[in-house]
């Protein structure tokens, strides 16, 4: 190849690299007048809904393009932390543990950005979750609804259990317990009657709340009190009595219980709406949804939400403001509910979700009815991800029966406090 040819090719390659860099940084060529933003999420299944919503936004805002990037959940929190610290984070990103970023002024104040009335359209629980020090730090996107119990109609019938019996179930450490006797009946026909396990959102928080306990008081962990001992003691005894899968299986695979239910090996599967679409698509047997059992303090569920935060270090704050406004609007948010995969955080759009499942003959009221009552907070505060990571192996050992419940809870609380810098 002639040196002149190599020089021309070198210049061309340099031009391509410069153009690609400009696109990556949010600019196209000088004449396009477009701004490129990046939105980071951790669940690839949401890409079609977001793409449809953002396509509609781009048609109305031709000067802005939004690229969706997916970082799997397993590496998402740590990568986001490093990218925010290094100034390489996306312009917008999903978050459910935002406090460290808010306290470090890394996020936009949504009230200042969109106006104080914007939050009136969103689920009150989601607004409360993302409010800190009197300011809102993310635009809620979808909520999980409450926890309920999926049941296998065929296994219930084989055990002579009427689904109507599930509506009055009560768990208790005393003689008025009706859940354990029913699980013993189901044990005659199912390898696993129920999914008691180390599962914070679906199992531990509802039991802790319905025992009268709390996970946190402000930013302090308080799950190791007498109420916590009652709740976790009941759950670990179900595992020890083989009325739920071994913790050796559920500790190592968070999807073990759902898979067992889908295979027809589990009679009752306590979980949230985030598993509804999968069960509807894959269950080869008749099934339904019932309210979760009452505890000594009644039925108590958590209602987690996912929000989109705006990166305060973005080079395009006005474009970020417009995209956040769209994603938090009834028109932009409804796309997340149209396929039945999630409950939109815009209250007016939640009917879209209900109507979708009603057309398929599936009653989703238990997920909504339970959060009309008391709720238990799912936790948060500075250092919260590190705290969860620190307590996780201790609670896992507790469910394996290797550490007594009171000792395990005390150790887990202390480890969480240390990890979060609260000691």
Please tell me the predicted confidence (pLDDT) of residue 423.
63
Q: What is the pLDDT of residues 6-40, one digit of tens each?
A: 333 343 344 343 334 334 433 443 346 799 999 99
Q: What is the pLDDT of residues 98-114, one digit of tens each?
A: 999 999 999 999 999 99
What are the backbone dihedrals phi and psi of residue 286, each rounded to the nearest 5 degrees, phi first?
Answer: -70, 140
Between residues 279 and 8, the one the model is more confident about: 279
User: Distance (Å, rounded) from C-alpha 249 to C-alpha 167?
Assistant: 29
Please tell me the predicted confidence (pLDDT) of residue 27.
40
User: Distance (Å, rounded) from C-alpha 74 to C-alpha 202?
Assistant: 19
pTM for the whole thing? Answer: 0.84
What are the backbone dihedrals phi and psi of residue 243, each rounded to the nearest 5 degrees, phi first?
Answer: -90, 0
Q: Tokens at residue 414, please? A: 């202390």
User: Distance (Å, rounded) from C-alpha 13 to C-alpha 75?
Assistant: 33
pLDDT for residue 87 is more than 60: yes
Please tell me the predicted confidence (pLDDT) of residue 402.
98
Mean pLDDT along residues 240-254: 96
The share of the chain scoring above pLDDT 90, in percent, equals 84
Asked which of 58-67, 116-125, 231-240, 400-409 is least confident by mean pLDDT, the reply is 116-125
Please tell me the predicted confidence (pLDDT) of residue 254.
87
Please tell me the predicted confidence (pLDDT) of residue 135.
96
Q: What is the pLDDT of residues 383-418, one digit of tens each?
A: 898 999 999 999 999 999 999 999 999 999 999 999
293: exposed, middle or buried (C-beta count within 10 Å: 0-12, 13-18, 19+)? buried
Contact 239, 246 (CB under 8 A): yes
Contact 287, 150 (CB under 8 A): yes
Between residues 31 and 66, the one the model is more confident about: 66
Mean pLDDT along residues 66-94: 95
What the chain holds in terms of domains, given with CATH numbers, is 35-144+304-359 (3.40.190.10), 146-302+364-420 (3.40.190.10)
Q: How far is CA 347 from CA 124, 136, 276, 304, in A?
A: 9, 17, 20, 15
User: Distance (Å, rounded) from C-alpha 225 to C-alpha 244?
Assistant: 25
Q: Tokens at residue 312, please? A: 């305060």
Residues paired with residue 343 on neighbouring β-strands, in sequence order: 143
Please give the angle made by the CA atoms of 382, 384 and 387, to the nearest 5 degrees.
125
Mean pLDDT along residues 78-92: 96
Q: What is the pLDDT of residues 284-340, one digit of tens each?
A: 999 999 999 999 999 999 988 999 999 999 999 999 999 999 999 999 999 999 989
């Amino acid at each position: 190849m002639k040196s002149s040819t190599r020089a021309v090719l070198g210049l061309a390659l340099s031009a391509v690299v410069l153009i690609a860099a400009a696109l990556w940084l949010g600019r196209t060529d000088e004449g396009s007048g477009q701004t490129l933003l990046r939105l980071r999420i951790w669940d690839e299944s949401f890409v079609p809904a977001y793409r449809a919503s953002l396509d509609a936004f781009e048609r109305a805002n031709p000067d802005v393009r939004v690229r969706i990037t997916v970082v799997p959940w397993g590496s998402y929190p740590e990568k986001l932390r490093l990218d925010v610290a290094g100034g390489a984070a996306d312009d917008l990103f999903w978050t459910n543990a935002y406090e460290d970023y808010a306290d470090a002024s890394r996020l936009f104040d949504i009230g200042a950005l969109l106006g104080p009335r914007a939050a009136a359209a969103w689920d009150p629980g989601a607004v409360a979750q993302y409010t800190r020090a009197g300011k809102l730090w993310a635009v809620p996107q979808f909520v999980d609804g409450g926890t309920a119990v999926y049941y296998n109609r065929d296994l219930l019938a084989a055990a002579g259990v009427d689904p109507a019996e599930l509506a009055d179930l009560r768990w208790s450490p005393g003689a008025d317990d009706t859940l354990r006797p029913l699980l013993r009946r189901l044990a005659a026909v199912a390898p696993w009657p129920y999914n008691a396990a180390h599962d914070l959102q679906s199992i531990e928080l509802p039991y802790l709340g319905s025992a009268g306990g709390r996970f946190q008081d402000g930013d302090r962990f308080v799950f190791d009190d007498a109420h916590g001992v009652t709740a976790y003691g009941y759950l670990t005894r179900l595992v020890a009595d083989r009325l739920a899968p071994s913790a050796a299986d559920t500790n190592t695979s968070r999807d073990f219980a759902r898979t067992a239910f889908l295979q027809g090996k589990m009679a009752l599967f306590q979980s949230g709406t985030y598993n509804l679409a999968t069960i509807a698509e894959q269950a080869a047997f008749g099934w339904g949804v019932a309210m979760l059992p009452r505890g000594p303090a009644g039925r108590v569920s958590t209602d987690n939400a996912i929000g989109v935060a705006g990166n305060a270090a973005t080079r395009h704050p006005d474009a970020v403001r417009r995209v956040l406004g769209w994603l938090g609007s009834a028109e932009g948010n409804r796309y997340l509910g149209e396929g039945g995969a999630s409950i939109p955080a815009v209250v007016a759009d939640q009917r879209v979700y209900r109507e979708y499942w009603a057309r398929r003959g599936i009653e989703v009221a238990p997920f909504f009815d339970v959060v009309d009552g008391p709720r238990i907070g799912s936790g948060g505060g500075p250092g919260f991800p590190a705290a969860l990571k620190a307590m996780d192996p201790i609670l896992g050992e507790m469910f394996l029966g290797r550490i007594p419940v009171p000792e395990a809870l005390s150790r887990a609380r202390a480890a969480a406090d240390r990890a979060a810098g609260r000691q």
